[in-house]
Amino acid sequence: MIPELYQFNANYNLDELSIFLANLSDESYLLNTDLHNPDILEKYIYDTVSYNLTHLKLHSIQNYSVEFKNLTNLNANKYSISCDNTLGHSDLKYPIMSVLTNMSKKNMNFILTDVNFNQYKFKHFNHQEVLQLFYIHKHNSLIFDSSKYHGFYESSIDDCDHLALLISVYPYKRTGIPIYLSNNSKELHNINYINETHIKYLQEKQYIKTDFFNYDFFNKLLYKNTIPSYATDKICELKFSNTYHIILQPDDTDSTVNNNMDITNKDETESKDETESKDEYDYSTDKRFIQRFIHKELFTPYLCNWIKKEFEDVNNTITDYNNVLEITQIPKIQSFVFNNLEYIFNTLNNFYGKQLPTDIKYIKFVKYKVFKENPIYCPSPDTSTFLIQIRIFNNADGGNLLFNDNISLHLHTGDMITHLIVDSSTNTDVIRGEIIDMIIAV
């Protein structure tokens, strides 16, 4: 869905709606789609969603969950990824659309990137080629694809209050969010707020070449909610354009943001202490590494079976084995792993968009069995930063990796995961059966 901006040709009590909305808390609510005796807010949301679903040739509103939220002080806050992450890391669900309506007198300056959820988490911006600026006037609305990242930026320094309504439509029934309950006991608003005769789509676009597309710019925009000074002046200048929708493009369209991962064009006010030094870089505070992501089928089943056989052959010769072997104890595997370390690290470096440390502290093979019979292997405290964990064999009930922040992840044979050692992972909840992992500490 291409983002679309539209304006109302008639007021239809939207000033009254703005006053009503200003008195609403900033919590998220679900709309009762079985509309009965609606107040002005319920009727506006119902009509807005119903119209846009029809416009997109989708099902009726009763097939969806409609979440809405009152947004204020937009000059100090941002709206990030619109995503329901309550269903677990591997099953993120996005709204099918979101609608943002400016309810204040002051124009809202809205920056829209096409960075998706995984790109955002791991700072993988290598395909980022455009940045969209929307100057949303009073009672204008923007409908956009909610699987994208969105950020607010307000260049005004005055004290004008900002007020907006954000509506997100999910293709399933959501839980855990309170249903909005109106205080009105009688039917208030029967008019249809949204229809083709009441709105006008603002389709004019202006394309501008810029010279500030680099890693530093997107890193600050997406994670620090700031725009470096070298970009601020340009965006403020464009604010006074008569065009509602401006698309920014890099001067060199052959280059990508990731071509300059070493930060350049740094804001003059940024201290030297914030420079990303290779020797002093703190991976534990970098959001791309805080998240854990499973790389599917890094090793083939055939390769995993061979590694398992070599592990078992050596392990069975040890009288008092504890199911943990150093790689030096298995010469055939050692030779293979050392020859393929470059492949493993290249896979991770390309994914994260940054070089991981390569000073390997140890490589071990661990067999997990039933907890009551064998202690689960947990790395002892050391100087490692990352653990790279590849599942060589999985024939167990349970077997999830359990982290100290209550995240639980499941790896199949051949899958790889990288996590910071400060995450203190890791138990593996084997109920029956066994699992073998290769663990590389760097």
- First and final CA of the chain: distance in angstroms? 42
Q: In this predicted structure, which of 69-73, 113-117, 156-160, 219-223 has the lowest mean pLDDT?
A: 156-160
Task: Assign 317 a pLDDT band (cuts: 50, 70, 90).
Answer: confident
Structure confidence by residue, pLDDT tens digits, 183-210: 655 545 556 666 666 677 787 788 888 8
| Arithmetic mean of pLDDT, 171-175 | 83
Read off the pLDDT of residues 156-171 as tens digits, 9 standing for 90 and up. Answer: 545 557 788 989 998 8
**What mean pLDDT do residues 46-50 have?**
89
What's the average model confidence in pLDDT over 241-270? 54
User: Which superfamily, per CATH, for 287-441?
Assistant: q2cbj1_9rhob like domain (2.60.120.620)
For residue 380, the model assigns a pLDDT of 55
Q: Which of 201, 205, 199 is nearest to 245 (CA)?
A: 205
Q: Work out the pLDDT band at 426, boundaries 50, 70, 90.
A: low
Q: Tens digits of per-residue pLDDT, 362-407?
A: 899 988 776 544 444 555 556 778 889 999 998 877 777 777 666 7
Q: Which residues make Cβ contacts (< 8 Å) with residue 125, sequence separation at least 6?
A: 115, 119, 215, 218, 256, 257, 258, 353
Handedness of CA 179, 180, 181, 185 (dihedral sign): negative
Task: Label residue 144 by pLDDT band (50, 70, 90).
Answer: confident
Rounded CA gap, 150 and 143, in Å? 12
Which one has a higher pLDDT value, 223 or 30?
A: 30
The mean pLDDT of 71-87, rounded to a whole number, is 57
pLDDT of residue 84: 59
pLDDT at 157: 47
pLDDT reported for residue 75: 45
Least reliable range by pLDDT among 182-196, 260-274, 428-442: 260-274
Residue spans per domain, the chain: 4-276, 287-441
Q: What are phi and psi of 65, to 5 degrees?
A: -105, 135
| Most confident of the ranges 76-90, 133-147, 249-263 | 133-147
Quote the pLDDT of residue 307: 93
Least confident of 109-123, 143-157, 263-277, 282-296: 263-277
- Tokens representing 129? 């080629």
Mean pLDDT on 15-39? 83
The per-residue pLDDT for 258 is 41
4-276 CATH? 2.60.120
C-alpha to C-alpha distances, 334 to 101, 195, 227, 341, 346, nearest whole angstrom? 60, 68, 48, 11, 19
What band does 278 get if pLDDT is binned at 50, 70 and 90?
very low
User: Whose CA is closest to 111, among 22, 222, 194, 24?
Assistant: 222
Cβ partners under 8 Å of residue 390, min gap 6: 298, 299, 344, 414, 415, 416, 437, 438, 440
Average pLDDT over residues 286-292: 72
For the ranges 31-45, 70-84, 112-126, 419-433, the maximum mean pLDDT occurs at 31-45
287-441 shares the fold of 4-276: yes
Percent of the chain past pLDDT 90, that is, above it, reads: 7
Across the chain, mean pLDDT equals 75
pLDDT band of residue 308 (cuts 50, 70, 90) is very high
User: Residue 262's pLDDT band (boundaries 50, 70, 90)?
Assistant: very low
